[in-house]
């Protein structure tokens, strides 16, 4: 998005959902991972919007939503959400988007001047001619093979897009964890720009972040590639020259630990060894560190995979009352649509003397840096308003931060594409891009596997072993496979298999004794739970341009094993859905 629109954030607010004519949901399952969005989708349906779900699996939350805060959600049948389910083959999203854009351009050619938003394109965009030439050469058969779809399914989606005046495309890790993730997101922007669906009510691009404040962290400078303008502002504010070379992202960190280039690893929250791909390699790299430090609210796997020396520093969560010398403190969070609001703790800390993260970092900085940098670390610990005063001088859009954050409902950060159709790209315009299609090949006898979360799970935290939306009870060691693929491979529902990763490096990566569950996923595709299946994803299996682990296109082989169902780790499948998805709740 930064390369095409000049900003890597959503160009909508939550209010825009209720004003949209069409919402296309790609690579995500709001029912499990983003329940706040289900309410927005329900409001959009009530207002007359059509919704299309692009997903290899049918998901209950998009089949029918029963809102517990509404009477019809408790005693009624709820709200049917998706008007169309496009059951995409894993890795086929880019091909689908190009095919829809090609149909839009074809409609314009048939009815000149009536389909594209020519005024918008001429004033705000660049690259239409090159994109048109490129898509004119798009091979329809290659698209059908890459997507696993029939032509009429793509025609239906294109017709919905052409009918709608206001369109939102929203996506999450199902797209970002693909090899061609960056190009796929560029194709979303292409499609939206063709009909002016950026910078107007009810329309825009909506990336959904996986955590409540991951976007806010980036805004505040927690990124290994902060731009010079931010570093210059930091230098002016604090009178020191911050390091200008890039740091290391998650994968580079593991590689650096493995190679001995990184000696000390410190984490503020998180569970990196469970969250990152190639579990065995990641754990071996972490054990090679001279010291590992975890600043954490609760124990997790990373606490037992340590370097030669290890510390666990317990800290408050933001749900706990944070009392400092100046009184009770609050922090601020930025959500996925650029809304910033305060977050106050409401429960007593779990232990007396527990330090906040701000206190831990401030004391560490004071001990290590002393007076080398003129920063009031003690003041930061005692009064978080002092930190926000500095933020207001450094971070664009946060001027008068302490006043804005105390407004009812917080405030919205500025967003040029959303607010004024201003695009801070190098050329000052939104850029339509040309992207080369590349399909995910599946050798005979293999499947393309994706990782996913269960209903009773938040990131790597697993609250229970039931996944009621998918009919799974008492376990997580399962692999979801289309019944036709099971038959083709000579396998049956309930059988135990070893799941082998198939990659060119030929390093053994295997999940032992996982239970097969017949499930109506897309043909040639399979699914298993994260983080258990991370062991199958090599650290070298990365998205081009973003270095994100590719967990949505893992080539696997299923080898039958002899197993006693009572002693094997696989789950029992309770009311596993049939091919039509009839067992989905609702």
Q: Report CA 399 to chain centroid distance, whole Å.
A: 29
Q: In 429-566, which ranges are E strands? A: 430-431, 447-452, 457-458, 461-462, 472-473, 478-481, 496-501, 510-518, 525-529, 554-560
State the virtual CA torsion across 544, 549, 550, 555 in degrees, nearest 10: 120
Question: Would you state the pLDDT for residue 63?
Answer: 60
| Cα(204)–Cα(200) distance, integer angstroms | 7
| Cα(320)–Cα(149) distance, integer angstroms | 49
Q: What is the pTM of this model?
A: 0.92
Other C-beta atoms lying within 10 Å of the C-beta of residue 382: 18
- Expressed in angstroms, the distance from the first to the final Cα of the chain is 36
| Cα(267)–Cα(249) distance, integer angstroms | 13
Question: Would you state the pLDDT for residue 81?
Answer: 80
What kind and span of H or E run contains 464?
Answer: none
β-sheet bridge partners, residue 340: 334, 411
Q: Residue 118: helix, strand or coil by DSSP?
A: helix
What kind and span of H or E run contains 73?
Answer: helix 71-74
Dump the DSSP string for 158-194.
HHHHHH-SSEEEEE-HHHHTSTTHHHHHHHHHHHHHH
| Domains within the chain, CATH numbers bracketed | 14-208 (3.40.228.10), 214-414 (3.40.50.740), 447-573 (2.40.40.20)
Dump the DSSP string for 274-323.
HHSSSHHHHHHHHHTSSEEEEEESS--GGGGS--SEEEEEEB--TTB-EE
Question: Would you state the pLDDT for residue 29?
Answer: 79
> Could you report the per-residue pLDDT of 353-392, keeping only the tens digit for each?
999 999 999 999 999 999 899 899 999 999 999 999 999 9
Alpha-carbon distance values, 415 to 6, 192, 342 (Å): 10, 17, 20
pLDDT block averages, 10 residues each, the chain of length 586: 95 94 90 69 91 90 52 51 93 98 98 98 98 98 98 98 98 93 98 98 90 81 93 95 93 97 95 95 97 96 97 96 97 92 95 96 95 93 98 96 95 96 97 96 96 88 88 94 98 97 91 97 97 95 94 96 58 43 32
Tokens 């996913």 found at: 452
Torsions phi, psi for 266 (to 5 deg): -125, 130
User: Which positions ≥6 away from 507 have C-beta within 8 Å?
Assistant: 538
Q: Residue 117: helix, strand or coil by DSSP?
A: coil
| Cα(60)–Cα(454) distance, integer angstroms | 12
Tokens 């994968």 found at: 251
What is the 3-class SS of 223-247, one letter each residue?
CCCCCHHHHHHHHHHHCCCCCCCCC
> Could you report the per-residue pLDDT of 451-480, keeping only the tens digit for each?
999 888 888 888 889 998 888 998 999 999
Give me Rg for the CA atoms of the chain. Answer: 25
| Cα(340)–Cα(405) distance, integer angstroms | 7
């Amino acid at each position: 998005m930064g390369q095409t629109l000049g900003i890597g954030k959503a160009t909508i607010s939550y209010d825009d959902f209720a004003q949209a004519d069409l919402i296309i949901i790609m690579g995500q399952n709001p029912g499990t991972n983003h329940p706040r969005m289900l309410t927005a989708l329900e409001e959009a349906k009530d207002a007359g919007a059509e919704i299309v779900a692009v997903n290899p699996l049918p998901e209950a939350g998009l089949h029918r939503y029963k809102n517990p805060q509404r009477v019809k959600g408790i005693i009624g049948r709820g709200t049917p959400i998706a008007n169309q389910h496009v059951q995409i083959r894993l890795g086929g999203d880019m091909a689908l988007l190009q095919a829809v854009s090609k149909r839009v351009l074809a409609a314009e050619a048939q009815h000149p001047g009536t389909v594209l938003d020519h005024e918008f394109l001429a004033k705000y965009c660049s690259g239409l001619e090159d994109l048109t030439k490129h898509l004119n050469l798009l091979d329809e058969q290659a698209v059908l093979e890459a997507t696993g779809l029939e032509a009429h399914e793509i025609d239906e989606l294109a017709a919905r897009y052409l009918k709608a005046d206001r369109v939102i495309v929203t996506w999450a890790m199902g797209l970002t964890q693909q090899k061609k993730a960056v190009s796929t997101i560029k194709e979303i922007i292409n499609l939206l720009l063709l009909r002016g669906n950026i910078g107007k009510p009810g329309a825009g691009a909506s990336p959904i972040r996986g955590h409540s404040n991951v976007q806010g962290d980036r805004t505040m400078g927690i990124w290994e590639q902060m731009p010079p303008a931010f570093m210059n502002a930091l230098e002016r504010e604090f009178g020191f020259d911050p390091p200008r070379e890039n740091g290391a992202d998650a994968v580079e960190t593991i590689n650096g630990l493995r190679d001995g280039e990184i000696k000390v690893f410190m984490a503020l929250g998180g569970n990196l060894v469970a969250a990152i791909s190639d579990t065995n390699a990641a754990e071996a790299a972490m054990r090679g560190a001279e010291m590992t430090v975890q600043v954490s609210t609760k124990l997790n796997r990373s606490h037992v995979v340590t370097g030669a020396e290890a510390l666990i520093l317990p800290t408050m969560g933001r749900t706990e009352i944070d009392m400092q010398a100046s009184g009770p403190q609050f922090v601020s969070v930025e959500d996925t649509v650029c809304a910033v609001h305060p977050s106050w703790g409401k429960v007593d800390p779990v232990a007396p003397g527990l330090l906040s993260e701000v206190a831990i970092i401030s004391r560490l900085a004071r001990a290590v840096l002393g007076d080398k940098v003129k920063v009031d670390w003690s003041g930061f610990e005692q009064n978080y308003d002092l930190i926000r005063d500095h933020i207001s001088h450094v971070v664009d859009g946060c001027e008068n931060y302490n006043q804005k954050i105390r407004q009812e409902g917080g405030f919205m950060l500025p967003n040029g594409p959303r607010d004024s159709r201003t695009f801070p790209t190098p050329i000052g315009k939104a850029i339509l891009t040309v992207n080369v299609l590349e399909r995910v090949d599946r050798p005979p006898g293999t499947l393309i596997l994706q990782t996913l979360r269960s209903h009773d799970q938040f990131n790597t935290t697993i609250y229970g072993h039931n996944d009621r939306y998918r009919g799974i009870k008492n376990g997580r060691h399962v692999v979801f496979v289309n019944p036709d693929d099971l038959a083709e491979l000579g396998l049956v529902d309930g059988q135990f298999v070893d799941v082998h990763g198939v990659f060119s490096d030929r390093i053994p990566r295997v999940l032992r004794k996982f239970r097969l569950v017949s499930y109506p996923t897309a043909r040639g595709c399979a699914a298993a739970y994260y983080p258990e299946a991370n062991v199958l994803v090599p650290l070298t299996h990365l998205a081009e341009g973003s270095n994100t682990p590719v967990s949505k296109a893992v080539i696997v082989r299923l080898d039958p094993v002899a197993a006693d169902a009572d002693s094997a780790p696989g789950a029992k499948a309770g009311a596993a859905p049939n091919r039509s998805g009839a067992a989905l709740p609702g």
